[in-house]
Amino acid sequence: MSLVVSTAFQISPYIQSRALTVLGILSHSDLDDDLLYQVLVALQKALRMGDKVEALHIVSTIRCLTNVVPGLPPSSRYLPQLFWIPVILLQTSDTIVFKESLRLLGAVVRTLQGHQLLAENDGLANYMLTTRDSFADVISQVEQMQGVNFDVSFTFSLTALIYRGIHVASMREAAQSTLRTLLRATTWSSPVHDEPRTSVDPDAVAYFIALLFCGTPTEEEAAELLHDAGLSVEQLPALPLRLRTRGRDGRLHLLRSTEMLGLTDKAKAALFAVSLVLMMEATSSPTLVQQVNIIQFLTDVGQSFAEYAMMACTYRLETLPGSLHDLLNHTSDPEVVQIVSRFSRMAMDTATRPRSSSTAGKTRVTLRSSLQEEGMAGLLEERLFTGELDAEVMERVDKVLGVILETPSSHPSGHSELISFGDF
């Protein structure tokens, strides 16, 4: 082990990247902040090399961190703040770095939950918001660039960053796994997790929505998702309904979605939920069942918040007729026909409603403008991968690492200098 550690931190970057991979595999328990500190310094020096370093070196260091984190003790000074490193890296356009950042994020959250640190600190969202204070300016830059605001909604902001990986085959499993980890950790670290639930935890609702609408669940998958959210099919007996399609294997679509999501009396959350669902629809090729779920959801929202449903209809007015026609063309299920009819009436009302004299001459309030007022316009944005390492993203990670590593005892074991990338 000592040879691996020596190689990982004192040899050329090409050997170092392999040594870091081995180090991560061998390091599973009884670890301390000294080792983590050295890995973080290695990552920082790799980031500072800019064009001189290949993505492989950064990926190797992230993988090492992912494997090292579960072995850290609850008293680790770096563990809580480490959460924000992969969050910032989720801005990257490099698919491999993005995927490994998802895995690191999941490892950090699972470790925090396993040590009961989330439950002891009022849950994931509240705890993580307090850990960013020393580098709040960097997180603010991330928010401005991505069109999100963690203070306004931690769950929707984080989901917006993660969801872009859902539609890339190589990252889909990692993205879904991370969302499920966040859903479980948030639900089971809640102060009321032992009490019977009738709706999803407010701090977990975006994770649940992303997992619910990105697939076509079977009964078993729906039951598992409900369990992860602290719910049960028995609590919501009307929830699953099998969709009968022409020549297609039946899957489930879900009813009572706004009640299940706890949105009936939460206007801001309903606005964000509608926007997230529309973004998910726009960035994918939804299946028949997904289309039913989306239309049912938007119709349900309209019962409590007509203005948001109208904004949604206006937002997708150009594609709406084709979507509804395709849906009716592939199923004769009377329940689905009723859902489509209700939604169509709502859409027609939106298209033909005259503007009142009180709003004449004023800018029409749209879904996007409503989100912009909240600093959450990024919920509607599609973020593509270009395969490049973004210099600005790496600089932000470097800044946060600098803050994290500046502790009262700057070097845990008295190491005044560590040799890493470029020191050869």
pLDDT digits (tens, 9 = 90+) for 299-309: 888 888 888 88
Q: Among positive and negative, which fits the CA dihedral 173, 179, 184, 189? A: positive
248 strand-pairing partners: 245
Low-confidence ranges of the chain (pLDDT < 70): 1-30, 50-53, 192-194, 215-217, 233-257, 317-318, 347, 350-364, 407-424
To 5 degrees, how large is the angle CA 60–CA 76–CA 135? Answer: 75
DSSP 321-335: HHHHHHHHHS---HH
In contact, 260 and 232? CB cutoff 8 Å:
no
Of 62, 70, 48, nearest in space to 99 by CA: 62
81, two tokens = 């703040």
Instruction: Break the chain into its structural domains and give their ranges.
Output: 1-73, 74-353+364-376
How many Å apart are CA 238 and CA 334, to the nearest integer? 16
How many Å apart are CA 411 and CA 2, to the nearest integer? 19
Of 37, 28, 48, nearest in space to 81 by CA: 37
Q: What is the pLDDT of residues 268-277, one digit of tens each?
A: 999 999 999 9
Q: What is the pLDDT of residues 65-112, one digit of tens each?
A: 998 899 999 999 999 999 999 999 999 999 999 999 999 999 999 999
Scored b (16 or more CB within 10 A) or e, 271-306 reads bbbbbbbbbbbebeebebbbbbbbbbbbbbbbebbe
Q: What are phi and psi of 362, to 5 degrees?
A: -95, 155
In contact, 140 and 126? CB cutoff 8 Å:
no
Name the region of 125 (left: φ>0; alpha: ψ -120 to 50; beta: rest).
Answer: alpha
**pLDDT value for 122:** 92
Name the region of 309 (left: φ>0; alpha: ψ -120 to 50; beta: rest).
Answer: alpha
**pLDDT value for 357:** 44
